[in-house]
Each structure stands twice: as structure tokens, then as C-alpha cells.
Amino acid sequence: MPRPLQLEKYNVDHKIVCELVNLQSRIILFSIKRRSKLAEEISQESNIPLSTVYLKLNNMKNLSMIFVEQIELSDSGRRLKYFRSRISGAEIIFEKSKLKIILVPNKNL
């Protein structure tokens, strides 16, 4: 039987908590709460390396914490993705050795 830590590695709640406790992820989430932004814009405003911004955006998008609100084509034909947060807050509750997360929907959508 797998150990609890092995099971938690694949638990979505655990992955969401990992993103929420990460300072860079929180900075990114707050940055795109009121309006959508490009990864480059987030990187410049927050002084987080662009590669880290892309990694965090991808992780949070896979967890449905954020979404791509708009896609534009640049003059050079590059797709420009504008990211937006689906959540405006979160509550983490520990009960009977279980983790419960309550995500507050972003009312600014």
C-alpha cells in the first residue's frame, strides 16, 4: 500500500496548496485578479524571471486556478496569451488529518 506522502503527491488539493503557499504564485495570482495580462507583463511588474512566470502560469492553468482570457496574434504572428485568475481568495482547513480547500471565485470576471 502506498504511503500517505506518495498519495498526496497526486492529490489536486495538495498541488493547489503548494501553489498558494508559493510566494511567486501568489504574486502572479494577485497580478491577474482584476485584469488579464501577458506573461511578459507579469514578469516585468513583479521582477519574477519570465521562465518562472511561464512555469507557474502553466501549473496554475492545469489546476484551473487561472485561464487564458484572450489570445491575440502579434505582428510577427506569435500568439499572445492573456491570463486571468479564476479565484480571488482561498481558505485552507485541516480536519481529521485531511485537507479541505475552499476557493473563492473571482467576482471581477
* CATH number reported for the structural domain that contains residue 73 in this entry: 1.10.10.10
Which of 62, 73, 59 lies closest to 21, judged by CA? Answer: 59
* 8 Å CB contact between 33 and 106: yes
Structural domain count, the chain: 1
Q: What pLDDT, in 10s, does the model give residues 8-29?
A: 556 888 899 999 999 999 999 9
Q: Which helix (H) or strand (E) holds 84?
A: strand 79-85
Confidence of residue 100 (pLDDT cuts 50, 70, 90): confident
Q: Supply the pTM of this predicted model.
A: 0.86
Enter the C-alpha cell of residue 36.
488579464
Domain region containing 62: 4-105
Q: What pLDDT, in 10s, does the model give residues 27-76?
A: 999 999 999 999 999 999 999 999 999 999 999 999 999 999 999 999 99
Q: What is the pLDDT of residue 29?
A: 96
Enter the C-alpha cell of residue 109.
470576471
